[in-house]
Amino acid sequence: MTALSRYAFKVDYYDSQANLTRQYLLLYFTEDATIEMHDLKIKRVFLKRCAYPSLSTQELFIGATVCIFARSLKLVDYGDEATRKHFSAALGEFILIITEEGFSAAGDIVDKIISKDLRITNIRLVELPGNMCSQFGISKRCIVILVKGSEASDKVVLLNEAFPNTTIVLSNPTDVSACSDVAFSPGKTTAVMKNCSVCVIKPHAITSGYQGAILQRLIDEGFHISALAMYTLTLADAEDFLEVYNGVVPEYKRLVEQMSSGPCWAIEVCAENAVTALRAVCGPHDPEVCHVLFPHTIRSKYGVDRSRNSVHCTDLEEDAPLESEFFFSLLQNL
């Protein structure tokens, strides 16, 4: 697709103080990564054009939530016909299912999807009902991935050829819709919520395409992946989840802003002494410390600073069940 000089999206912002949803037009200028916002109700400029380098075109798609100056904005529609045509051109959607036999290479499979410029718009580890397993010829326990992108029909063939015995691809719209309805709806979770730990791949790491490598690192370290799902936290959700750090770490506000700035992946892992083991693999909170003392940790490889340190991991053993419940019980059933 040929890039436009400007993309336009209609976005919704929920104003909790006024208890109403405000709608804006978000403009993104590709030449210099600047943004501008207009209030659609009063037809005035709300935010003058300014640089916002942390926002990338990969984050711009209908249904996405982006964080602009601590405001969570949901992209609900295209703002003009040119943007609509650009993002709709040759856009396809399919589901890739990783069977239980392929779990040991799940991160590598995710990495392959990302390398083909395809966007993962949802992912969840599920146990599908028996009739659906029989229909698609798959194991009950599997990872369901919803994928969108240009020229998807051609790329899906290559993906299936790369992992022929461990993946199933659904491209028929009826099958995609039926599987999505079952896999991504509220309901039973695979999370065990005991003797576990939680790793959350942060939005900046998702945007950078590190989620496959991080997931594979956890698998290679011997962790059993007992639950996995994508969530988009509101500012209030992030504040609730990170409340234990309020007043404890100086970057608390930035942690909240980062965690609510886009989709994140929550992963429940099980292992002997899971909390301690996961902390050792992730490394200290500060990537700079990791670079010097723990260069092989996840935060050393993929972290930027103390708030954008690639992953959150459970710090205290007693917090692990609570963090798992937060994602796989509370948020999953909203």
Give the whole-angstrom CA distance, residue 229 versus residue 298. 19
Query: C-alpha angle with apex 72: 68 to 73, nearest 5 degrees?
Result: 85
Question: Exposed, middle or buried: residue 109 (CB in 10 Å: 0-12, 13-18, 19+)?
Answer: buried
Give the whole-angstrom CA distance, residue 77 versus residue 25. 10
> Between the CA of residue 264 and those of 66, 139, 211, what are the distances in Å?
12, 26, 9
Q: Are strands 34-39 and 20-29 parallel, antiparallel or unpaired?
A: antiparallel
Query: C-alpha angle with apex 251: 216 to 35, nearest 5 degrees?
Result: 80
The residues carrying an active-site annotation are 312
Best CA proximity match to 119, nearest among 154, 90, 99, 94: 94
HEC sequence for 148-192: EEECHHHHHHHHHHHCCCCEEEECCHHHHHHHHHHHCCCCCCCCC
Q: Which residues contact 241 (CB under 8 A, 6 or more apart)?
A: 233, 259, 323, 326
Give the whole-angstrom CA distance, residue 260 versus residue 203. 8
Q: Contact 31/51 with Cβ under 8 angstroms? A: no
Neighbouring C-beta atoms of residue 119, cutoff 10 Å? 18
